[in-house]
Structure formats: structure tokens, C-alpha cells
Amino acid sequence: MRIHKKSKPKVLWFQAITCNGNTHSFLSANDNRMRLFLDSFDLIYHPSLTVNITLKEILSSNIEIDYLLVEGAISSNERFFSLSNLSTNSLINKLIKKTKYLIAVGSCASNGGIHAKFEENKDIKSLSKSIEAKSLSLLQHPIINLTGCPVHPEWILQTLFSLKEYGKMKLDEEGRPVELYSSLAHHGCTRNEYFEWKVEAESFGHKEGCLFYEQGCRGPMTHASCNKILWNDVNSKTRVGMPCIGCTESDFPRDNMLETRKNIGIPHEVPLGISKRAYLSLTGIAKTFKIERLHKKLND
């Protein structure tokens, strides 16, 4: 009896208006996880990583795409035409007709990102705002937004493996997987004790002190698991003294991202889940105490 080996799900990575940051992030994934991905999926096309077939050949073939990953913002403007002389908008709406699952990789694809904010030409949109309604109905699942600038490589892999295994993922109101974006970047941050006692970092790059009040850290109001699923399995922005810039939120990028906007010394925004009055009360109480240990260097 002949046993037919089941083919791997096909993954196509499409790049629109992008800096390639999400591709670089993906290539920085854990070695074992990347090997498992390559053993479990068939990456049939990536403009920088594959050479066996062109996008034009895929569009003219009967190849079906299981997972279409889109990196970058979308536009119909001729300034952003691809090598095939078609706009990113046109190509996406052709590819989606062959696709089961559509995943926006990074903040530009999810929300328009830096390109939508700063380009003079405003015909730059997120993936969800670029897809024709009739094409959306062809998908087996709502669009999944993996926000981040760049997105964490493990979030990409975990999404693909979850869809492969279960066929669906629970999404929040912004289309992000709940299992990846339900916690805050603040959760798991090694600076939480400094935050609680209102001990601020002297400057960027120090291991001691909180980065919220003076350095503009958005960890307490940013949905992301960066401090739970560590980059390269060992680190995160806040652990090395870099404030969270809130790159997973829809208002990214904001102006003056490394500053805390204040009014008469009071932060304009306070952590999620607490009223400004309650936050100020707690802050006032915390500042009446001085924990000597927290005012010393970790390594003298």
C-alpha cells in the first residue's frame, strides 16, 4: 500500500512599502524554532530569501497559498509600483484570491505605520483598509495583525504554528492574537520595583531605575509580550535601558517618543487600568518612602 505524504502548508511572504525590518527580525528567530518552521512549512516565496519562483509565476499558476504574510504598508500610487509594474494594492488583491489566511506582519502592514504618518502622499494604508470586501470573504479567518516595529520573530512563528494546529486564533478588537497581546510590556519588566517606588533612571542605558516618568516609556500602556517572550531568548528593550516606544499600538509612531509628556509635572497619560487621581495618590505615597537598596547601583 502506498502512503501519500501530506504536503507542507505553503507560506508566501509579500513585501510592500517597508524597511525590511520584519524580515530581519524573522531571521533572528531562535535557531531551533526556525528549523522547525522550515521543516513544517513550505516557504514558496520571499523576495529576498527564495529563488525558485517569481511572484508573477505564482499569480499565473494554480498554486494555492495557505498563509500570506504581508510586510509593509499598501498603496496604489505609481511611486511604489513593483518590478512587475503593478501597485502593491493590485498585487495584494490578486494574491488574496489564492489565500486561506492573511497575516499583517509589523505595524506598517497592520496600521500604516511610519509611512502612512510621514509620507506626503496619503494613499498609503494598512492591509485591512486595502483589501476589497469581496476578497475578504474568501478568507478562512479574519485578518491577523501582528503589530510591532519590528514584530517579535516568535510572534510570527507562534501564530503560524497555532493556525496550522487549530485553524483559528482568538483576536482582540484590533485584530491581534490575544495570547500574544493580552498582557502589557510592563508585565515581566525587571524595572517594576523601581516603578512601584517611583525611582527614576538617571539616563538611558542604565540597569537601575524606571523609564516611565522621565524617559517616555510606554510599557504600562502597551499591549505586548516583549518582557515575557524575550528577544533572542535573553533580552528586551527595557532590560537594556531603552524605553518601550509603544510600537504595537495603533497610534505608533508618536511625536517625541523618548519624552514623557507632562502637565505641571503630572504625566499626561497614566498606566492602563487606573484613574489619574488614584495614580497620583499612589505616587504621592510611594515618594514618601526611600528604599535605600533601590538608590544604589546593582553592580558597584
Confidence of residue 284 (pLDDT cuts 50, 70, 90): confident
Q: Is pLDDT above 90 for 224?
A: yes
Q: DSSP character for 293?
A: G
Tally DSSP H helices, then E strands, for the chain: 11, 9
Q: Does any domain span residue 236?
A: yes
- Let me know whether 296 and 235 are in one domain: yes
Residues 6+ apart with CB under 8 A from 27: 34, 153
| Same domain for 16 and 147 | yes
Res 296: pLDDT: 84
pLDDT confidence of residue 265: 75
Q: CATH no. for residue 200?
A: 4.10.480.10
pLDDT digits (tens, 9 = 90+) for 1-26: 455 557 899 999 999 989 999 999 99
Q: Across all residues in the chain, what is the average pLDDT?
A: 90
Where is pLDDT greater, at 266 or 239? 239
Is residue 110 classed as helix, strand or coil in its secondary structure?
helix
Sign of CA dihedral 230, 215, 204, 115: positive
Q: Which residue type occupies 109?
A: A
How confident is the model at residue 120, as a pLDDT? 61
- The verdict on 95 and 197 lying in the same domain is no
Do 204 and 138 reside in the same domain of the chain? no
103-146 confidence digits (pLDDT tens): 999 999 999 988 888 776 668 899 999 988 888 888 999 999 99
Same domain? 86 vs 153: yes
134 with 282, same domain: the answer is no
Same domain, 71 and 210: no
Residue-level pLDDT at 116: 82
- Residue 4 belongs to a domain: no
23 and 106 belong to one structural domain:
yes
Among residues 106, 114, 252, which one has the least CA distance to residue 244?
252
pLDDT at residue 299 in the model? 76
Question: Would residue 2 count as lying in a domain?
Answer: no
Distance from C-alpha of 113 to C-alpha of 49, rounded to nearest angstrom: 24
Here the CATH number for the domain that contains residue 144 is: 3.40.50.700
Query: pLDDT per residue over 179-193, tens digit each?
Result: 999 999 999 999 999
**In this structure, are 147 and 166 located in the same domain?**
yes
154 and 198 assigned to the same domain: no
267 in the same domain as 156: no
Structural domain boundaries, residue 198: 183-300
Residues 14, 120, single domain; the answer is yes
The b-or-e profile of 8-38 (16+ CB within 10 A means b, else e) is: ebbbbbbbbbbbebbbebbeebeeebeeebe
| pLDDT recorded at residue 121 | 61
pTM of the model: 0.91
Give start and end residues of each alpha helix (H) in the chain. 21-27, 31-40, 55-59, 88-95, 107-111, 113-118, 133-136, 153-166, 178-181, 192-196, 276-286
Identify whether 1 is part of a domain. Answer: no
pLDDT band at 269 (very low <50, low <70, confident <90, very high): confident
Q: Report, as an integer, the average pLDDT of 150-162.
A: 97
How many independent structural domains does the chain possess? 2
Tens-digit pLDDT profile for residues 62-99: 999 999 999 999 988 776 666 567 888 989 999 999 99
Residue 5 domain-assigned (yes or no)? no
